[in-house]
């Protein structure tokens, strides 16, 4: 047998052996696996973080285009009272000299100094109404607004609300690009939002983030109204100094909040920013436009969040930590009249669930005095429903008066005193009563023309606006302290309706 035949036979034998082995192996495997059922596992569905509900990438350009031309730069000028002139007495005059005396260069270190500030604002109507933060324009003597196209206007302060940190301005312009209010109730945690501000008058600046929390309270903010309405929308959109008063919008370009604060130890953005919800801001703006002052209803209770610790402290037995504990009830308040008691747990305002003090504050802040609401609460271990007629801070169902109305009720014409007049009387501050009307509060309480008002409720009065501010935040009687030109000092008590 030659070599070619030998190779062919060897290859044939190898192939036959391989086929036999494969058949044998297949038979053995089939015998071992004939009772096994195979289940096909589908590949996991990938969810991309930057996709919308329709599966398309989130597009911020539409919202940005709708917003940037409605956001403005707000510049303020205000006077700061000199530290040297605050709280001086006659003792100081004898030992430290005349506080109005100028130095060798003609400069008086005790005269008020001029300071400047800035922030942002949002145009909310084509005829020039602008919403911003109260802290942006607080105590401002002059307010200037710059639009995104660089036009500038002098703005008038229509009204302010320290409790919500909202203020309303007006410029004399028409056909402006504006943002109408959206509904902040529809905002969801995790939703994309844009923060738009005009911090350095360099045209509007846009940043993006998501809603990280709702009904957030910061706690540390205080104001002269002694009543904070804190129920902020919290986002991680970058907001820095100068963005206060700017717009928080959703991807549809709807105004859902007014940017107000950041959580920071340095004054610069550190991860979280906070905005006043549009539902609160809109109510404040509507009141300021119609009444000149916010018609705020209060329930008249002190609140505490319901937690395992507070439940134990108030001796409340519960396994569900939902609702808000009534820590105390004010005498004569809306809550007391309706029958709500201390240690009751409020769970709903109308049909809206509340689970924190800020939740409850936000709901009540939407109403006016004399509005009627339903409160659901757990009282004495039972679910009860209370019909509540809301009242104002004075315990009345009537609307409160604006600063101008309060001022008019005094029945007085006042004038601010210049430095020379104050110097002649050795006074540091004061405003003079120059004329009295027949039925005004001043005349009825015995105040005579020429009286110089120095303090109201222990606060120094150096301008008519300061007097209005003090009166607008007062309830009941206010104490007025002053002096007549002959040196006789007098004190009067005026009741504020």
For the chain, domains (ranges, CATH) are: 50-294 (2.40.10.120), 301-389 (2.30.42.10), 403-496 (2.30.42.10)
Q: What whole-number distance in Å separates Cα of residue 343 and Cα of residue 115?
A: 48
Least confident segment among 88-97, 161-170, 199-208, 365-374:
88-97
- Pick the residue with more confidence: 125 or 200? 125
Torsion of CA 14, 16, 17, 22, to 10 degrees: 120
Contact 374, 347 (CB under 8 A): no
| Residue written as token pair 């709702």 | 214
Reported pTM: 0.71
pLDDT computed for residue 220 by the predictor: 46
pLDDT digits (tens, 9 = 90+) for 247-269: 999 999 999 999 998 877 666 67
Contact 205, 148 (CB under 8 A): no
**Residue 105 pLDDT more than 70?**
no
Q: What whole-number distance in Å separates Cα of residue 123 and Cα of residue 179?
A: 6
For the segment 439-453, the average pLDDT, to the nearest whole number, is 93
The region, left, alpha or beta by phi > 0 then psi within -120 to 50, assigned to residue 220 is: alpha
pLDDT computed for residue 394 by the predictor: 77
Closest CA to 389 of 334, 434, 426: 334
Please spell the DSSP secondary structure of 55-117, one letter per residue: SSBP--HHHHHHHHTTEEEEEEEEEE--GGGSS--HHHHHHH--TT---TTS--TTSPEEEEE
**Residue 1 pLDDT more than 90?**
no
Least confident segment among 226-235, 323-332, 446-455:
226-235
Active-site positions?
A: 135, 165, 244
pLDDT computed for residue 204 by the predictor: 84
**Residue 36 pLDDT more than 60?**
no
**Residue 337 pLDDT more than 50?**
yes
- Pick the residue with more confidence: 449 or 25? 449
pLDDT computed for residue 317 by the predictor: 80
Q: How many CB atoms lie within 10 A of CB 342?
A: 14
Q: What whole-number distance in Å separates Cα of residue 70 and Cα of residue 196?
A: 10
- Pick the residue with more confidence: 2 or 243? 243
**Residue 35 pLDDT more than 70?**
no
pLDDT computed for residue 469 by the predictor: 79
Q: What whole-number distance in Å separates Cα of residue 236 and Cα of residue 255?
A: 17
Cα–Cα distances (Å) from 292 to 131, 159, 284, 371, 405, in that order, read 14, 6, 10, 19, 9
**Residue 305 pLDDT more than 50?**
yes
pLDDT computed for residue 265 by the predictor: 67
For the segment 395-405, the average pLDDT, to the nearest whole number, is 79
pLDDT computed for residue 39 by the predictor: 40
pLDDT computed for residue 108 by the predictor: 52
Contact 356, 217 (CB under 8 A): yes
pLDDT computed for residue 409 by the predictor: 85
Cα–Cα distances (Å) from 237 to 49, 108, 191, 241, 478, in that order, read 16, 45, 11, 13, 44
pLDDT computed for residue 110 by the predictor: 53
Closest CA to 454 of 486, 432, 421, 476: 432
Q: What whole-number distance in Å separates Cα of residue 497 and Cα of residue 388?
A: 23
Closest CA to 195 of 251, 149, 150, 146: 251
Contact 449, 435 (CB under 8 A): yes
pLDDT digits (tens, 9 = 90+) for 309-333: 998 888 888 778 889 999 999 999 9
Contact 151, 89 (CB under 8 A): no
Least confident segment among 213-227, 338-352, 416-430:
213-227
pLDDT computed for residue 82 by the predictor: 52
For the segment 451-456, the average pLDDT, to the nearest whole number, is 95
**Residue 53 pLDDT more than 80?**
no
Non-local CB neighbours of 372 within 8 Å, separated by 6+ positions: 387, 388, 389, 390
pLDDT computed for residue 112 by the predictor: 59
Query: What percentage of the chain has pLDDT greater than the value 70?
Result: 78
What pLDDT band is residue 181 in, cutting at 50, 70 and 90? very high
Q: What whole-number distance in Å separates Cα of residue 141 and Cα of residue 138?
A: 9
- Pick the residue with more confidence: 19 or 482? 482
């Amino acid at each position: 047998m030659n070599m070619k035949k030998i190779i062919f036979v060897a290859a044939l034998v190898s192939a036959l052996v391989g086929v036999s082995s494969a058949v044998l192996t297949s038979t053995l495997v089939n015998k071992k696996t004939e009772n096994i059922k195979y289940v096909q596992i589908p590949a996991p569905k990938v969810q991309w973080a930057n996709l919308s509900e329709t599966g398309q990438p989130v597009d911020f350009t539409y919202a940005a285009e709708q917003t940037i031309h409605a956001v403005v730069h707000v510049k303020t000028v205000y006077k700061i009272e000199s530290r040297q002139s605050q709280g001086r007495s006659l003792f100081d005059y004898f030992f430290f000299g005349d506080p109005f005396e100028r130095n060798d260069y003609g400069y008086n270190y005790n005269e008020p100094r001029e300071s400047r500030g800035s922030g942002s604002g949002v145009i909310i109507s084509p005829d020039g109404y602008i919403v911003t933060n109260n802290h942006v324009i607080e105590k401002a003597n002059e307010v200037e607004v710059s639009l995104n196209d660089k036009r500038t206007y002098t703005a008038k302060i229509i009204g302010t609300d320290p409790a919500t940190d909202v203020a309303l301005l007006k410029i004399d312009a028409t056909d402006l690009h504006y943002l109408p209010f959206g509904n902040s109730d529809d905002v969801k945690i995790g939703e994309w939002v844009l923060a738009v501000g005009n911090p350095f008058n360099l045209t509007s600046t846009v940043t993006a983030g998501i809603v990280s929390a709702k009904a957030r309270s910061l706690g540390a903010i205080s104001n002269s109204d002694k009543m904070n309405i804190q129920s902020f929308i919290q986002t991680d959109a970058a907001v820095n100094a100068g963005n206060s008063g700017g717009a928080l919008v959703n991807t549809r370009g709807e105004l859902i909040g007014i940017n107000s604060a950041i959580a920071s130890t340095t004054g610069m953005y550190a991860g979280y920013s906070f905005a006043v919800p549009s539902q609160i801001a809109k109510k404040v703006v509507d009141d300021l436009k119609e009444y000149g002052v916010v018609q705020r209803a209060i329930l008249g209770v002190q609140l505490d969040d319901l937690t395992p610790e507070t439940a134990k402290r108030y001796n409340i037995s519960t396994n569900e930590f939902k609702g808000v504990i009534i820590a105390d009830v004010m005498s004569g308040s809306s809550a007391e009249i309706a029958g709500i008691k201390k240690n009751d747990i409020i769970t709903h305002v109308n049909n809206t669930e509340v689970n924190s003090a800020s939740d409850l504050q936000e709901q009540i802040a939407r109403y006016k005095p004399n509005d009627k609401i339903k409160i659901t609460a757990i009282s004495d271990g039972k679910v009860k429903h209370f019909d509540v007629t809301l009242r104002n801070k004075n315990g009345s169902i009537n609307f409160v008066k604006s600063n101008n109305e309060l001022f008019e009720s005094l029945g007085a014409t006042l004038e601010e005193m210049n430095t020379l007049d104050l110097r002649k009387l050795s006074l540091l501050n004061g405003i003079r009563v120059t004329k009295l009307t027949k039925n005004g509060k001043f005349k009825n309480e015995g105040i005579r023309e020429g009286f110089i008002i120095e303090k109201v409720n222990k606060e120094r009065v150096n301008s008519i606006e300061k007097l209005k501010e003090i009166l607008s935040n007062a309830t009941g009687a206010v104490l007025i302290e002053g002096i007549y030109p002959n040196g006789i000092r007098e004190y009067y008590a005026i009741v504020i309706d």
